[in-house]
Amino acid sequence: MEKLVAADLAAMGIGCFLPLMKQVRYYGNRKARVDAPLFPSYVFMRGSIEQAYLADRTKRIASVIRVAAQDELDWELRNLYLALSRQAPLVPYPYLKKGVRVEVRSGPFRGLQGVVEDRSRSDRIILKVDILGRAVSLEIDGALLERVE
């Protein structure tokens, strides 16, 4: 869907950026490398309010998020573009904050849930037993973690 939105925006002359990464997908017994969105469900567009309204009228947009800190977003997207243009092996990594409950999604600890200990160390989770007032920590690759709602 993101590729269709990006194509629609380009056809309307609205500037957009859809960061894509190579990903292996399986279709039955077939294995294929496809370009998948780095941030599923998001396409970055730059334009006027009128252009945002036109984009929204395509009926393919869930919502338009206005960005107050344009310079900061430009800097972040420029760096992302630069990394992608040089074929950097980017891997989606959860943006986790202190106190967020997470679950390990793959590997030997799959299903294990804990709480992120420190914002600067999202690869360390805390396993708590609140009734005892005790906890232990476990260091694990943050790419294996997913936020639990």
Residue 90 domain flag: no
Task: Note down the domain range covering 109.
Answer: 101-147
Q: In this predicted model, what pLDDT tens digit does every residue of 31-42 receive, in sequence order? A: 888 888 888 888
Is residue 130 located within the same domain as residue 67?
A: no
| pLDDT greater than 60 at residue 86 | yes
Reported in sequence order, the residue ranges of the chain that DSSP labels E, i.e. its strands, are 15-17, 20-27, 30-37, 44-46, 101-104, 113-118, 121-129, 134-139, 145-147
Per the confidence metrics, is the pTM higher than 0.75?
no
15 pLDDT band (50/70/90 cuts)? Answer: very high
Residue 91 domain flag: no
Overall domain count for the chain: 2
Residue 41 domain flag: yes
Mark out the alpha helices in the chain (DSSP H runs): 2-11, 49-56, 70-85
Query: Which residues does 115 contact at the CB level (< 8 Å), separation at least 6?
Result: 99, 100, 101, 102, 125, 126, 128
Q: In this predicted model, what pLDDT tens digit does every residue of 32-72 receive, in sequence order? A: 888 888 888 889 998 888 998 888 888 888 888 888 888 88
Of 31, 56, 85, which marks where a domain is finished? Answer: 85
Of 51, 85, 119, which marks where a domain is finished? Answer: 85
Is residue 73 located within the same domain as residue 8?
A: yes
Residue 67 domain flag: yes
Question: How confident is the model at residue 112, as a pLDDT?
Answer: 86
Is residue 62 located within the same domain as residue 15?
A: yes
Residue 93 domain flag: no
Is residue 69 located within the same domain as residue 117?
A: no
